[in-house]
């Protein structure tokens, strides 16, 4: 019998990437689906959506229309992820050919909704924290592992707590078992995932041993075969000294930290309900740079949040000047339904917002140019995980510099010392020295 084929498109964050892996594994183990990269050959088309900003939500419906036209006779279309959670049955109202809607917190039900036409499963109090998903990993070299589901914060701009629900930590022993399985399978790099990883241990669904994120990091790093640990996303508010010190001390933890700033103005941070001030953020970043001189720090920034004055925006640029982030993901504020800020009336003119965004990006480019120039001639250890079609293999240094080297698949899964010989803002070129 020919196997059934699954086409899956994954938008949004690393959490969605892992959710897609979970669904692929469940569909393979229980329903015999194999992956295809051609939507017109698929028996099932899944779109794993993101709703953090408005634009991708608009794009979703035009995309669904395209899939509906090109899909083969009898093929099903399912909408999963955060927009599924947010819009629920309205998706089927607007696109009646969609067969089912499966929320970001309900991915374990994929093989169930598949057989219930027009099923909508989007409860956000559903507990998947101990569900035993079957196994599938996109990369044999790097394993994404969830440590919690949901988010307990109430940032006023963010829809995620409404799509992924309250935060529940996955029991430490289940995480360690997953890490061991991944390491036994050859993944030297472990990527721990949660909406707010350093809040780990806040709430378990059962009577689990109370373990915090710092302790979890220690346990993960003790697992045989694990060489590198990364995680995303931590919250600046929960970056206590113990956590930063463990980050600095533990040689298996990669020296790259995501610190989502959102705004450099204490006033705006208050309106965003981020729980920290400009000074706190600067203090944490300085501590990190002091204890880990080669750390690379990335961030997320929103411009033109309601009420943001020119002086507030200057504060954001000031934090960028002081911290000199190695990577900045910047966005113009996009009002989202179900969020507190949606009701704020002191909105910033859209053109001013666009102007601030381009000012910020141009400023960051000047910082990046000087950071990348300083990389020239340096030697870094690169863990190769990706074969590029142009005769290069690509990987990242411990502190997250993306490096390409001429070479073939023999380098995949290997770590090598590389000298940087040519630089640009986003990717560096190197040659292997040992």
Give dist(CA 306, CA 423) in Å, integer.
38
Of 99 and 163, nearer to ligand 5AD (C-beta) is 163
For 124, the token pair is: 């956000």
Q: Establish if 238 lies at the interface with ligand 5AD (CB under 6 A).
A: no
169 binds, among ligand SF4, ligand 5AD, none (CB under 5 to 8 A by kind): none
Query: Nearest CA to 133 among 169, 170, 84, 183?
Result: 170
Q: Is 52 a binder of ligand 5AD (CB under 6 A)?
A: yes
Q: Stretches 76-84, 201-209, 330-338, 419-427: which one binds ligand 5AD (CB under 6 A)?
A: 330-338
Q: Which two tokens stand for residue 251?
A: 């040689």
Q: Which residues bind ligand SF4 (CB under 6 A)?
A: 12-13, 15-16, 50-52, 81-82, 104, 160, 163-164
The answer to whether the CB of 285 falls within 8 A of the CB of 324 is no
Please state the φ and ψ torsions of residue 100, each to the nearest 5 degrees: -160, 160
Write down the least CB distance from residue 215 to ligand SF4, Å.
25
Q: How far is the CB of 210 from ligand SF4 (least distance, A)?
A: 26
Residue 372, token pair as written in the block: 């990348």
Stretch that binds ligand 5AD, among 122-130, 241-249, 326-334, 353-361 (CB under 6 A): 326-334
Between CA 308 and CA 314 the distance in angstroms is 10
Q: The tokens of 218 are what?
A: 């220690």
Q: How many residues can be counted in the chain?
A: 434
Of the candidates 49, 156, 262, 327, which one interacts with ligand 5AD according to CB under 6 A?
262
The distance of closest approach from Cβ of residue 33 to ligand 5AD in the complex, given in angstroms and rounded to an integer, is 30
Q: CA nearest 104: which of 50, 152, 171, 60?
A: 50
Residues β-bridged to residue 419: 379, 431
Helix (H, G, I), strand (E, B), or coil: what is residue 67? helix
Q: Which is nearer to ligand SF4, 122 or 401 (CB)?
A: 122
With CB under 5 to 8 Å by kind, the binding choice for 163 among ligand 5AD, ligand SF4, none is ligand SF4
Per CB under 6 A, the segment of 182-190, 331-339, 352-360, 393-401 that binds ligand 5AD is 331-339
| 302, interface contact from ligand SF4, ligand 5AD, none, CB < 5-8 Å by kind | ligand 5AD
Among 61, 131, 136, 331, binds ligand 5AD (CB under 6 A): 331
Residue of 133, 313, 333, 383 interacting with ligand 5AD (CB under 6 A)? 333
Q: Which of 87, 181, 174 is nearest to 128 (CA)?
A: 174
199 contributes a contact to ligand 5AD by CB under 6 A: no
Q: Which of 111, 106, 101, 99 is nearest to 31 (CA)?
A: 111
Contacting residue, 81, 171, 201, 260, with ligand 5AD by CB under 6 A:
260
Using the structure block, give the residue that is written with the tokens 């045989």. Answer: 224
Which of ligand 5AD, ligand SF4, none does residue 8 bind (CB under 5 to 8 Å by kind)? Answer: none
Q: Please choose, from the candidates 93, 91, 86, 90, the residue with its C-alpha nearest in 3D space to the C-alpha of residue 46.
A: 91
Nearest approach in angstroms of CB 332 to ligand 5AD is: 7
Please tell me what DSSP assigns to residue 376: T
Partner interacting with residue 16 (select from ligand SF4, ligand 5AD, none; CB below 5-8 Å by kind): ligand SF4
Max Cα–Cα distance, the chain, nearest Å: 66
The site partner of 129 among ligand SF4, ligand 5AD, none (C-beta below 5 to 8 Å per kind) is none
Place of tokens 């697992």: 223
Residue 430: both structure tokens together: 């190197």
Q: Which residues contact 154 (CB under 8 A, 6 or more apart)?
A: 161, 273, 340
261 binds ligand 5AD (CB under 6 A): no
**Interface contacts to ligand 5AD, rule CB under 6 A:** 52-53, 157-158, 260, 262, 300, 302, 331, 333-334, 336
């Amino acid at each position: 019998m020919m196997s059934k084929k699954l086409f899956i498109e994954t938008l949004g964050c690393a959490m969605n990437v892992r959710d897609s892996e979970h669904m692929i594994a469940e569909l393979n183990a229980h329903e015999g689906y194999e992956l295809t990269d051609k939507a017109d050959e698929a028996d099932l088309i899944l779109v794993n959506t993101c709703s953090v900003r408005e634009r991708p939500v608009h794009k979703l419906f035009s995309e669904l229309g395209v899939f509906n036209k090109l899909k083969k006779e009898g093929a099903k279309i399912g909408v999963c992820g955060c927009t599924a959670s947010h819009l629920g049955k309205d998706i089927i109202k607007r696109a009646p050919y969609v067969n089912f809607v499966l929320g970001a917190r309900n991915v374990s039900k994929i093989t169930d909704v598949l057989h219930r036409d027009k099923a909508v499963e989007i409860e956000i109090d559903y507990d998947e924290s101990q569900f035993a998903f079957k196994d599938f990993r996109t990369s044999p070299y790097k394993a994404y592992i969830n440590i919690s589901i949901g988010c307990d914060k109430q940032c006023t701009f963010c829809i995620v707590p409404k799509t992924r629900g309250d935060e529940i930590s996955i029991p430490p022993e289940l995480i360690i078992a997953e890490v061991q399985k991944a390491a036994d399978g050859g993944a030297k790099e472990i990527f721990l995932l949660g909406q707010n990883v350093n809040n780990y241990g806040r709430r378990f669904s059962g009577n689990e041993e109370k373990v915090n994120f710092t302790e979890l990091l220690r346990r993960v790093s003790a697992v045989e075969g694990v060489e590198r640990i990364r995680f995303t996303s931590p919250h600046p508010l929960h970056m206590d000294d113990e956590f930063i010190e463990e980050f600095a001390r533990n040689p298996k933890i990669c020296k790259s930290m995501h610190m989502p700033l959102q705004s450099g103005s204490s006033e705006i941070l208050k309106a965003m309900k981020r729980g920290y001030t400009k000074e706190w953020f600067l203090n944490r970043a300085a501590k990190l740079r002091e204890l880990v001189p080669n750390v690379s720090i990335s961030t997320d920034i929103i411009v033109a949040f309601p009420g943001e004055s020119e002086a507030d925006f200057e504060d954001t640029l000031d934090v960028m000047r002081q911290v000199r982030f190695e990577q900045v993901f910047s966005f113009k504020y996009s009002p989202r339904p179900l969020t507190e800020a949606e009701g704020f009336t002191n909105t910033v003119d859209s053109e001013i917002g666009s102007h601030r965004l381009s000012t910020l990006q141009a400023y960051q480019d000047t910082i990046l140019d000087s950071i990348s120039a300083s990389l020239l001639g340096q030697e870094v250890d690169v863990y190769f995980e990706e074969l590029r079609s142009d005769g290069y293999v690509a990987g990242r240094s411990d502190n997250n510099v993306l490096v390409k080297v001429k070479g073939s698949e023999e380098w995949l899964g290997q770590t090598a010392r590389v000298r940087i010989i040519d630089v640009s803002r986003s990717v560096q070129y190197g040659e292997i020295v040992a």
